[in-house]
Amino acid sequence: MLIVTTSKITGHPKGTDAVVAMRMETSAIASGASEIVAYGTGVQLDATG
């Protein structure tokens, strides 16, 4: 079994405080191989309310 993963997290280092929406998609590439993609919408909270 060969497992290859690539991960990129871009929200938190740019000041995101929370994720308000998330989507995940999967697809079969070949026999025994799948692709998983997950992404979301990040927001920065404002405490001046």
pLDDT at 40: 83
pLDDT at 48: 81
Tally the domains of the chain. Answer: 1
The 3-class SS string of the chain reads CCCCCCCCCCCHHHCCCEEEEEEEEEEEEECCEEEEEEEEEEECCCCCC
pLDDT at 6: 67
User: Rounded to an integer, what distance in angstroms lies between the CA atom of residue 30 and that of residue 21?
Assistant: 30
pTM above threshold 0.75: no
Please answer whether residues 42 and 11 qualify as being in contact, where contact means their C-beta atoms are separated by less than 8 angstroms: yes
Give the range of the structural domain holding residue 10, as residue numbers without chain letter: 1-49
Residues 1-49 pLDDT 10s: 556 666 666 655 567 788 888 888 988 888 888 888 888 888 888 878 6
